[in-house]
Amino acid sequence: MADLITYREAIADGIAREMRLDPSVVCLGEDIGAAGGVFKSTQGLFEEFGPTRIWDTPISEQAIVGAAMGAAMTGMRPVAEIMFSDFLACCWDFIANEMPKVRYMTGGQVKVPMVVRTANGGGLGFGAQHSQAVENWALSVPGLVIAAPSTPSDVVGLMASAIRSDDPVLFFEHKALFATKGEPAPAGHVIPLGQANVVRTGSEITLVGLAWSMPIVLEAAELLAQQGISAEVIDLRTLVPLDAATVLSSVSKTSRILIVEENPFQGGWGGTLASIVADEGFYDLDAPVKRIAAASVPLAFATHLENELLPSVALTVETAVRMATS
């Protein structure tokens, strides 16, 4: 068996694989070159590909994304890094008004094949301005592809599809997962965008997670099994495209669904998924659709307070037991 690799190592591996295949792939961002990135997720890229393809930029989110968009429109496939996902707000005009609209407004004559990578989410006590999970911001913008992997192998497989996409992709890498380990991706590993993964099969309740919430739902499923409750676990992996078909197929078998997300409850992606299940899977349900999400308040710096605001294994198990036994 191959040695396990970390999530952060998989990021650099996934980018490097695509850069070796396609000379039009370049990377740009703050300190991604010789420094290897502030989270050490681009280590080795500068040494292999040099300054002509790994570009260190000024501290300007608008400059980073604007330059990447221009490069994408003129034949390159840039991979831009925004250090913290909270800082997408600093370049939101490009994200919301420019990147996702150009292909449509030109009738397909101009494509924007670019990836914006960003470190997302809480759980590490980085405070209210550096801990937000912001997938739901992007979900409200038509024209953006949204990927959020939970394992090293999925990082590589989704990165390949993201870089090859002719549409702009927001690629959310979770800070609290950087040190986690998993199997390395095999050669040529590609995961199609919009393909969820049934991580664990079950028959009594469906648990759905994304990125950071996946370890929570997997641990909850183990604890539920000890209580005689069989839980099926689905990792969405991408929000756009959204693989609702896999979720609905699971619900047709289990008749119950619990969605666990890190986004705030108010406006979280789980609300969209819940509405689809309630609409298209209504007659398969034996219990109301349930969601567990972060509190709709700024995240605290103090660990014990942050933990109170985010979903937990205990709450997931408690809610699932109540649903399965009602």
Q: Which residues pair with 291 in a beta bridge?
A: 259
Per-residue DSSP letter, 91: G
Residue type, 63: A
Q: Which residues pair with 181 in a beta bridge?
A: 6
Q: Is 261 helix (H, G, I), strand (E, B) or coil?
A: strand
DSSP line for 106-163:
TTTSS----EEEEEE--SS---TTS----HHHHHTSTT-EEE---SHHHHHHHHHHHH
User: Which has the closest alpha carbon to 211: 158, 147, 258?
Assistant: 147
* Residue 188, CA distances (Å) to 21, 154, 161, 237 in order: 10, 12, 11, 19
- Angstrom distance (rounded) from CA 201 to CA 204: 10
**Dihedral in degrees, nearest 10, Cα atoms 278, 269, 211, 236:** 40
Given the structure tokens 């896999």, which residue do they identify?
Answer: 246
The reply to whether 130 belongs to the active site is yes
Q: Residue ranges of the alpha helices (H) in 3-79?
A: 7-21, 45-49, 61-73
Catalytic residue among 130, 174, 189, 304: 130
Where does residue 163 rank: exposed (0-12), middle (13-18), buried (19+ CB within 10 A)?
Answer: buried
Q: Active-site residue numbers?
A: 130
